[in-house]
Chains A and B, each alone.
Chain A
Amino acid sequence: MSLAWIVLLPFAGSICVSFMPSHARNTAGWLAGAVALACTVLTFQLYPQMADGGVVRMAFQWAPGLGLDFTLRMDGFAWLFAMLVTVMGTLVVLYARYYMAAQDPVPRFFSFFLAFMGSMLGVVLSGNLIQLVVFWELTSLTSFMLIAYWYHRLDARRGARMALTVTAAGGLCLLAGVLILGRIVGSYDLDIVLASGDLIRAHSWYLAALILIAVGALTKSAQFPFHFWLPHAMAAPTPVSVYLHSATMVKAGVFLLVRFWPVLAGTDAWFWIIGSAGLFSLVLGAYAAIFQRDMKGVLAYSTISHLGLITLLLGLNSSLALIAAIFHIVNHATFKASLFMAAGMVDHETGTRDLSRLSGLRRAMPITAILAVVGAAAMAGVPLLNGFISKEMFFTETVFISGNLITRIGMPALAVLWGIFSVAYSLRFILQVFFGPPAVDLPRSPHEPPRWMLFPSALLVMACLVVGIVPAQTIGPYLDVASRSVLGADMPFHSLAVWHGVNLPLIMSLLAMAGGVILYRALGKYHHGTSVVPLIEHFDGKRIFEFLLEKLDSLARGLTQWLSTDRLQVQLLLVICAAFASALIPLLHGGLPEGDMPVAAAHPAFAIMWLVGAACAMGAANQAKYHRLAALSLAGGAGLATCMTFVWFSAPDLALTQLVVEVVTLVLILLGLRWLPPRHKSIDEDMRSRGARVRARTRRLRDLGLAIIAGAGMTVLSFSVLTRRAGEGISPFFLENSLSLAGGANVINVILVDFRGFDTLGEITVLGIVALTVFALLRRFRPAPESMELPVKQQEQDALAGGATPDPHALLPAGPMMLPGVIVQLLLPIAGMVAVFFLLRGHNEPGGGFVAGLIVATAVILQYLVGGTAWAESRTRIHPQYWIGLGLLCAAGAGLSAWLASRQFLSALAWHGTLPVIGEVHLSTVLLFDLGVFLLVIGATVLILVVLAHQSRRGHRKAATAHGEASAARSAGWSAIGPTAPHDPAAVDMPAAQAAAYIAPAR
């Protein structure tokens, strides 16, 4: 179980920390530290199980159908790496607590930090390849968050984006690679994959898998040619660099290479791909590090170089080289982390990391100086430090390499060259910062950092020393366990010792030392660093990367422009054509056989009704451009014909719903018409050029043709369906079981609230969301300036009312609306009663929650229509949002209540019994569900209509403040309502034909 805790704890801690207030620096630090320490202890106590080559496994079912399990697996190597992650994590938390400034939102940092730690442990402990890739990408994401922690800085954002692009793209390649591996082996389980090395290496897809996995590993470990992101990631806070860019994340790549070493290594392809990437990174990274101006820049390039060393060792296809690689993973983490910490401390205390400005800090910061000197010595490979031993091992490997003359001589020569570079940049790093005359113009006067900030670095430096002096007694057994878990039975003999006698590797070491000192002396003008590295300035990975990204961007934009359009008409045209084609193509193949059902004789009333209906539809199509009100009424006519058709053909529920929806939609659009513009000048025929007129006419002809074709197609299709027998469907089930299973005679209602209750729950949720969206959209509504004034009719009406502001608290609305006011007030309780009637009988007779809700909504909106917003709202405040919420609660509660009886969600519970006085009663949770539908429909409909109705008031308020002067000059209509205010003559003398102008005032 402790395996699961090791992965889970950091994520749990991350979530906890993320809820802390941004000033909770200490609490967040303590929690993060406790989590990291707990993980360390948990990992360490598993060592006894690793010591004799054991493997701890733990599996949870994930998607068994796909052969995916969530598997955690720890062997010796994973243990060593997990220790690295957790110990470093603990130290970095301590360091970060003092590094981060009080004004930084520290909990955010620790939250992402812990999430990263969890992801990294997930990578290390994954026993399933797919799961490994998931955690792998998680480390990319969390590292993006950490690099961009100071997101107000441009370099941080850019660096983070570049790191994410490169490593996440590599992660995708890795995914492809492990998919191939899984395909070859037939399983994604790591144990099974590790046992099938011969099968994989012999497979024809081996090379593809190798390349893809190599790309994943090389991008993560910042290896040539993907190395360029690492120096730019240095914009991260230094604790991030310590943890991610020296100890853990960049090591994930080499971790993967070690993990797959037993199955992928041992071939020439492996040697050339991995080895050459490592060699290039090794030499170029060390070379570029010499010239960096930024302290962290030196360390970043040095990291590329040292990771190159590890990669190269892995690429050599030798067991001893593998042991050296694992050893160097640990060594590099210790000395590089301590050096990054030192760089951070210098930055923290002096305010700069610029090597050309820093100088002589050993006087002000003696302890930091000592720690940095020892760390840098380890980096340079000075004897008695751990870096020396792994370097010796590397040199030994290069000496004993087999192959042709070039590799046999070239490899040791390049190794010595690398040694020279390493010594040179290490020397420069130390001498530039800590020695020489004291610096003069530093942003801050330097002094020693707090003790606990020094502590982690000191501990790491101690480790470098101890491992460097007595390696076999300290790291030896652990390294042995880790290597054995990778190599298995092929474990070669090796000895960790400082002194192997005078041999070729020692001579190479001495040569590198001497060469490094000479090179440092010879640096000359480059002592202070330079922004371009000489000789290789043209191979700027960042420039190439940005060039490629820019090209990709413009290519995508070009393609989008070429393939798509912003114009809605073209898009709709395509949609219609596609719909038509998708109906037509099957018909071209199968034909459209005639139906065999007898056709019922046409009823004259039905024919007349649809004659009117069709005329209405076509009229609406014709009039919608200029005469909106007329078009709306005509469309309503077509709607009524539809409604009557439902009645005719045995669908009373549909007819009821259609009728009330028709009313509500009409009111809705009427409310909206007010804000639509008057006739536009440019669409008048004579105002346009001849070409434009011809184009418009052609377009119209084309659309007319399309409309006729679509209509004819639908006619043929419908007729052909209507005249053939219906196939056997699921309908008989509903009819047969409606009464017996659900206890309702109205099958439609039973389907909606019982059989398919989940669909309805989703549907009313959508309705609620739409209402809230409408509400939200209209909150920031800005009407067009020319729609600001009151509509003409209202101006007239206000003038008739005598100019007095209507009293919202009056019993009845003043003016001509007084009589309707009486009626609608009386109507409200009656409508409520009718609605309840429809709701209650819905289960057995036509009706139900939808219809009932819409009836109430109509009655409510009538109050608004007749009395005006102010009058209606001075009575009872309706809070439609509450109704929506209550409705959803009712419906969901009805569904959840089934759980009380341990039945499935939305199963109906019913109670049938006799009550005194009332008599026989049947109660069911279905009624509660329908009540929820009812309440939500009321809430949603009223909310939509009321917020739309409210716009007229808002508009005036805005106009009164913003456009006060200007609008008053144009029309005295709305601001000063009174007999003295002269009416705009143009507004009054409106042609009768433009009666619709009541809604859309032409001006």
Chain B
Amino acid sequence: MEIIYALAIGVLTGSGVWLLLRPRTFQVIMGFSLLSYAVNLFIFGMGRLTVGRAPIIDTLKQVDPSLYNDPVPQALVLTAIVIGFATTALFLVVLLASRGLTGTDHVDGEESEP
């Protein structure tokens, strides 16, 4: 499982990095999306992969930390997902405003080569 998980992170990172370096704003916004998936998975993975151990305490049993997945990375990722949405929205609007002002969707606001 771990190897698949790691490969998934790698593919998402690679695709994200590739898109980040492209010249069109839409490519960059997609790149950020993919890269944020990768980063979220990476942070989540810091709590190690466990199956069927959601950090929801069973009130009937004794609390034993080893029975649950690490909640801290999960809480971090949850925050990251929401903030990621906010930055995507902001970036999209800046992108649209830039496109309206400059007439192009190149990230620099002008075509690099004629």
Contact = CB atoms under 8 A, between A and B. Distances in A.
User: Does chain A bind chain B?
Assistant: yes
B50 A649 contact: yes
A155 to B, nearest CB: 36
Nearest to A687: B114
A33 to B, nearest CB: 51
A440 B108 CA distance: 63
Q: Looking at B12, B19, B24, B28, which has the most chain A CB atoms within 10 Å of its CB?
A: B12
> Which of B14, B31, B53, B65 counts the most A-chain CB atoms under 10 A from its CB?
B14
A771 B92 CA distance: 12
A734 B76 CA distance: 14
Contacts of A625: 22, 24, 27
Contacts of B57: 735, 738-739, 745-747
A651 B70 CA distance: 10
B40 A642 contact: yes
A299 B108 CA distance: 55
A500 B64 CA distance: 98
Contact of A650 (B4, B69, B81, B108): B69
A736 B55 CA distance: 11
A771 B48 CA distance: 34
A861 to B, nearest CB: 13
Contacts of A364: none
Given A642-B37, A735-B55, A651 B26 contact: no
Contacts of B30: 620-621, 624, 631-632, 635
Nearest to B30: A624
Given A642-B40, A665-B88, A763 B65 contact: no
B48 to A, nearest CB: 5
Contacts, number: 333
B45 to A, nearest CB: 6
Interface string A655-694: 0011001001100110011011100101000001000100
Interface string A553-569: 00000000000001111
B26 A707 contact: no
Contacts of A695: 113
Interface stretch (A55-63, A366-374, A720-728): A720-728
Contact of B74 (A645, A653, A682, A771): A653
A632 to B, nearest CB: 7
Interface in A746-795: 746-748, 751-752, 756, 759-760, 763, 766-767, 770-771, 773-774, 777-778, 781-784
Nearest to B58: A745
A472 interface: no
Contact of B108 (A566, A607, A739, A747): A566
Interface string B29-50: 1110110011011101111111
Given A723-B2, A846-B54, A624 B22 contact: yes
Given A707-B18, A752-B75, A610 B7 contact: yes
Given A677-B105, A746-B56, A731 B1 contact: no
B71 A677 contact: no
Interface stretch (A75-83, A282-290, A526-534, A709-717): A709-717
B7 A767 contact: no
Nearest to B1: A600
B17 to A, nearest CB: 4
B41 to A, nearest CB: 6
B87 A770 contact: yes
Q: Which of B15, B23, B59, B79 has the most CB of A within 10 A?
A: B15
B63 A648 contact: no
Given A651-B44, A707-B18, A715 B85 contact: no
A703 B105 contact: no
Nearest to A782: B100
A573 interface: yes
A19 interface: no
Contact of A767 (B17, B51, B83, B96): B83
A152 interface: no
A566 B102 CA distance: 15
Contact of A729 (B8, B70, B82, B103): B70
A169 interface: no
Interface string A929-942: 00000000100110
A638 B84 contact: no
- Interface secondary structure of B, over-half rule: helix
A628 B26 contact: yes
Nearest to A718: B6
Contact of B81 (A610, A638, A658, A692): A658
Given A638-B34, A710-B13, A781 B100 contact: yes
Given A635-B33, A668-B89, A718 B100 contact: no
Contact of B79 (A735, A760, A941): A760
B50 A747 contact: no
A335 interface: no
B29 A669 contact: yes
Interface string B97-109: 1011101110110
Contact of A620 (B28, B34, B52, B92): B34
B71 A751 contact: yes
Interface residues of B, number: 94
Contact of A624 (B26, B52, B72, B88): B26
Contacts of A665: 33, 85, 88
Nearest to A735: B65
A24 B51 CA distance: 73
Given A718-B10, A777-B94, A748 B74 contact: yes
A735 B113 contact: no
A706 interface: yes
Given A680-B104, A777-B97, A784-B100, A710 B17 contact: yes
A216 to B, nearest CB: 44
B111 A940 contact: no
A654 interface: yes
B97 to A, nearest CB: 6
Nearest to A733: B65
B113 A651 contact: no
A826 interface: no
Contacts of A746: 55-57
A646 B83 contact: no
B72 A734 contact: yes
A960 to B, nearest CB: 17
B72 A731 contact: yes
Nearest to A708: B14
B111 A606 contact: no
B70 to A, nearest CB: 5
A534 to B, nearest CB: 55
A676 B83 contact: no
Nearest to A693: B113
B8 A645 contact: yes
A756 B75 contact: yes
B10 A731 contact: no
A704 interface: yes
Interface in A730-744: 730-732, 734-736, 738-739
B88 to A, nearest CB: 6
A96 to B, nearest CB: 47
Nearest to A764: B82
5 contacts: A569-B107, A649-B44, A718-B5, A735-B68, A746-B56
Interface of A: 566-569, 572-573, 576, 597, 599-603, 606-607, 610, 613-614, 617-618, 620-621, 624-625, 628, 631-632, 635, 638-639, 641-642, 645-646, 648-654, 657-658, 661, 664-665, 668-669, 672-673, 675-677, 680, 682, 688, 692, 695, 703-704, 706-708, 710-719, 721-723, 726, 729-732, 734-736, 738-739, 745-748, 751-752, 756, 759-760, 763, 766-767, 770-771, 773-774, 777-778, 781-784, 844-846, 850, 937, 940-941, 944, 948, 951
Given A653-B78, A714-B42, 17 more contacts: A573-B21, A597-B48, A606-B4, A635-B33, A641-B8, A649-B49, A654-B77, A658-B81, A668-B89, A710-B13, A713-B10, A747-B57, A763-B82, A766-B86, A771-B89, A937-B82, A951-B96
Q: Which 7 A-B pairs have the closest CB atoms?
A: A711-B14, A715-B10, A719-B6, A707-B18, A621-B15, A732-B65, A711-B10
